[in-house]
Amino acid sequence: MQAAPSYKLVQLRNGTHAVYSAAYDEKMHPGPGPAAEAEAVYVRQLKIRERLCAGEDEFVVWDVGLGAAANAVTLLRLTRDLPCPVRLVSFDDTAGALEFALQNGAALEYLAGYEAPIAELLKSGSVNFRDQAHQVNWQFERSDFPSWVGQNRGHTPQAIMFDAFSPARNPVMWTLPLFTNLFRQLDPQRPCNLTTYSRSTMLRVTLLLAGFFVGRGVATGLKEETTVAANSLALLDEPLDCRWLERVRRSDSAEPLHEPVYRQARLSADSLLTLERHPQFCQSVPEPK
């Protein structure tokens, strides 16, 4: 009997195609489609064009969850008219989705024009090329990201596209230790923002406890909000406030994952105390009702 394919193409309601992973039983960019979601949630929400325009030095982006490269390629396409050089570091524990995407580029469409750099990336693990106005250094770290990020190495990022499979399917990528280690990688003197598709209370609490400032992000597909985080409050357009903190107290799913096993739990007393002391929130926190 022939084994079932690890990946397959699926057509979304708007007619665009996306990649489905059998291992995680999830579609990649299931809402408006790969290119549209990558542009709205990751590239524009991270304000990458504006930040590239403001600087001349190499701009470092971490692409956590390379998958079929929708986020990475959309970032390159939307910034290639700018002269600032870009270092793009993509992370994934497999090249399978990217290999599948390259084989199905005609249906996916967003890969058009980037087939040669992607082929070299798959072959060598890195590729340097001129993309219109700017120079691109694209690296592929094929590794276990939680272990990698805990080793305190690599180029310090200025923007992070965090697009792992969901916590229920892939809890190892959403734990408090992982985000704490990720925050430690950042240079306090170098502003960095992070965005992800999730709006869950658990995720937002996790990011805050890890050290980030956290805000509400744009809507995408069926999600009313996404999430933006940063090591500088100035990078957030709509930070979470004390009213959000009051709702967290009542949530049945707010405590972070301390180990890579998915579960839902109310916020612990220690976690609540740490949140109340976070510099993002007012000093005088209302008592629980």
List, for residues 60-115, the tens digit of each pLDDT value. Answer: 999 999 999 999 999 999 999 999 999 999 999 999 999 999 999 999 999 999 99
pLDDT at 171 over 90: yes
List, for residues 102-155, the tens digit of each pLDDT value. Answer: 999 999 999 999 999 999 999 999 999 999 998 999 999 999 999 999 886 668
The per-residue pLDDT for 2 is 44
Please state, for a pLDDT cut of 90, what percent of the chain lies above it: 88
Q: Which of 92, 71, 222 is nearest to 170 (CA)?
A: 92
Least confident segment among 27-31, 61-65, 164-168: 27-31
Q: Concatenate the DSSP letters of all residues of 31-67 into one string.
A: SS-HHHHIIIIIIITTTHHHHHHT--SPEEEEEE--T
Q: Which of 74, 61, 66 is nearest to 21 (CA)?
A: 66
Architecture of domain 29-241: 3-Layer(aba) Sandwich (3.40)
How far apart CA 67 and CA 56 sit, in angstroms, is: 29
pLDDT at 10 over 60: yes
Q: Which of 102, 97, 83, 125 is nearest to 26 (CA)?
A: 97
Give the mean pLDDT of the chain: 93
Please state, for a pLDDT cut of 70, what percent of the chain lies above it: 94
Q: What's the token pair of residue 102? A: 């390259």
The per-residue pLDDT for 201 is 97
User: What DSSP state is assigned to residue 186?
Assistant: S
The per-residue pLDDT for 75 is 98
The per-residue pLDDT for 5 is 76
pLDDT at 3 over 70: no
Domain boundaries, the chain: 29-241
pTM of the model: 0.94
How far apart CA 89 and CA 76 sit, in angstroms, is: 12
The per-residue pLDDT for 283 is 47
List, for residues 204-221, the tens digit of each pLDDT value. Answer: 999 999 999 999 999 887
Location of structure tokens 């325009």: 53
pLDDT at 285 over 60: no
